[in-house]
Amino acid sequence: MILGVRERLTEAIRMRLRADVPVGIYLSGGIDSSLVAGIVTHLVREEGVKMGNRNATDRICCFSIEFPTDSNFDESGMCRTVLA
């Protein structure tokens, strides 16, 4: 069952990377966007999949929002960990 979910999720992400414009990832620091970023990284590095109309050698574009340090909503630390 887990393998089936992984295969379906990977294929869904692969399909969404097909575009005639640049594609990016909104990285919130949560498990779902971290999982998407990891699968995209695998597809780009290991399988040579292109992100939209970008060159295969281009870096993967991730976007996130950073809140002031006193905010309970700031997930920038987790985002940095995922990007490392």
For residues 60 and 34, give the distance between their C-alpha atoms in angstroms, rounded to a whole number: 13
**Which alpha helices (DSSP H) does the chain contain, by range?**
2-17, 31-47, 76-83
Does the pLDDT of residue 62 top 70, yes or no? yes
Burial 51-75 (b: 16+ CB within 10 A, else e): beebeeeeebebebeeeeeeeeeeb
> Can you tell me the mean pLDDT for 53-66?
78
> Can you tell me the mean pLDDT for 74-83?
78
pTM of the model: 0.79
Q: Is residue 56 very low, low, confident or very high in pLDDT (cuts 50, 70, 90)? A: low
> Can you tell me the mean pLDDT for 61-69?
80
Least confident of 5-19, 23-37, 65-79: 65-79
The DSSP letter of residue 58 is S
Supply φ then ψ for residue 57, to 5 degrees.
Answer: -90, -10
Does the pLDDT of residue 11 top 90, yes or no? yes
